[in-house]
Structure 1
Amino acid sequence: MEMRSGEPSGKVKEREERGKRAHRNSSQEVLEWRESFDQLLKSKSGVNAFHTFLKTEFSEENLDFWLACEDFKKTRSKTKLASKANRIFEEFVQNEAPREVNIDHETREITRKNLSGATSACFNEAQAKTRTLMEKDSYPRFLKSASYQDMSRQAASRGTSKLSHT
């Protein structure tokens, strides 16, 4: 069996194929982000690209809050649930919070009341409002942004070059 860099040639080819698939998947993924906001949020690299874009608009707190809520829902310990809930509320929800999200007074009050019996659902309404705001406002701007347009063009050209070479 032929050896390259200490690996059997089959292993080298397998690694190259895996790399090509990952590249193709990431190209496909970039193009899927424009299909729906959900597609973007399902993708780790999509969330990272969207976060970078939001930073340029000084509005990343909405996504950070949404991500904190997603993480919060996975908390199983009652004690941790209560302390995490208070931390999230103080950072994002209360009036004059350091990274206050843009939600109406009623939702803010409902969320504050939910803290007294913190459950994994106590931020659901506030999280849903922030998600809708991002989907209707920031997401369309992200899709029109130069950074996404560049990623999209590169992904599309990688896709078409793959087709012509196969």
Structure 2
Amino acid sequence: MCRTLAAFPTTCLERAKEFKTRLGIFLHKSELGCDTGSTGKLEWGSKHGKENRNFSEDVLGWRESFDLLLSSKNGVAAFHAFLKTEFSEENLEFWLACEEFKKIQSATKRASRAHRIFEEFICSEAPKEVNIDHETRELTRMNLQTATATCFDTAQGKTRTLMEKDSYPRFLKSPAYRDLAAQASAATATPSSCSLAEPSHT
């Protein structure tokens, strides 16, 4: 056993392992796919910008606001897995697809991608049809004629509102998240005695 790992109290190591396993309840078989720009996999101790924060603080932040949940890769992955249990993951997948769509610079690629998103999420009988009203669907259809970066804004906004007001509160009340948040609270209360960051194996 490496010296760094050996330095951790056994109970802390067990708690850290269990803590990661709890999130697995959400993440099990949760893949968002390449088109959404996310793998849906847990990033433990990520070093990328804002993601480089204590994992337990990240978990607790998800209940502070829907924006914080969506800004966390771990949060998006957990929420996606929860939505799959309710058979409504298409809402988040559409929102993510729109976020990636806005980053496309090429007009040709944007037009092609816009039609793909419309056919997958918006049109009637789409394989992952999102729950939007007829007016919004027709407005989005008209917007495809120019396919600007904002052509899905209305539909995306309504889908986001639906998730925030409907699915998000249920996610926070789910036994798996409440249990995970309780452990995160306990971890942040005793940071000096037990760190939940994955031990280095160097």
1:124 corresponds in structure 2 to 153
Number of residue pairs matched by the alignment: 149
Of 81, 106, 113 in structure 2, the residue corresponding to residue 52 of structure 1 is 81
Higher helix share: 1
2:138 corresponds in structure 1 to 109
Letter of the 2:142 counterpart: K
Q: Which moved more, 1:151-160 or 1:92-101?
A: 151-160
Going from structure 1 to structure 2, the CA distance change for 1:164 and 1:104 (only over 3 Å counts) comes to same
Give the gaps of 5 or more residues in structure 2: 5-44, 196-202
How much does 1:161 deviate? 2.3
Structure 2 counterparts to residues 59-138 of structure 1, below 5 A: 59-138=88-167
How much does 1:23 deviate? 9.1
1:148 corresponds in structure 2 to 177
The DSSP-based 3-state class of the residue aligned with 1:116 is coil
Q: Distance in 2 between matches of 1:47 and 1:116?
A: 31
Matched, 1:162 2:191: yes
Q: Deviations over 1:91-114 (max 9, x none)?
A: 000011000000000000000000
TM-score, with structure 1 as normaliser? 0.84
Matched, 1:36 2:73: no
How much does 1:124 deviate? 0.2
Q: Between Structure 1 and Structure 2, whose CA radius of gyration is higher? A: 1
Letter of the 1:41 counterpart: L
Letter of the 2:157 counterpart: A
Identity rate, percent: 66
Aligned residues of 2:187 and 2:194 also touching (Cα < 8 A): no
Alpha-carbon RMSD across the aligned residues, in angstroms, is: 2.2
TM-score, with structure 2 as normaliser? 0.69
Going from structure 1 to structure 2, the CA distance change for 1:23 and 1:165 (only over 3 Å counts) comes to farther
Letter of the 1:67 counterpart: L
1:14 corresponds in structure 2 to none
Q: Distance in 2 between matches of 1:80 and 1:113?
A: 18
Q: Distance in 1 between matches of 2:101 and 2:82?
A: 24
How much does 1:165 deviate? 6.7
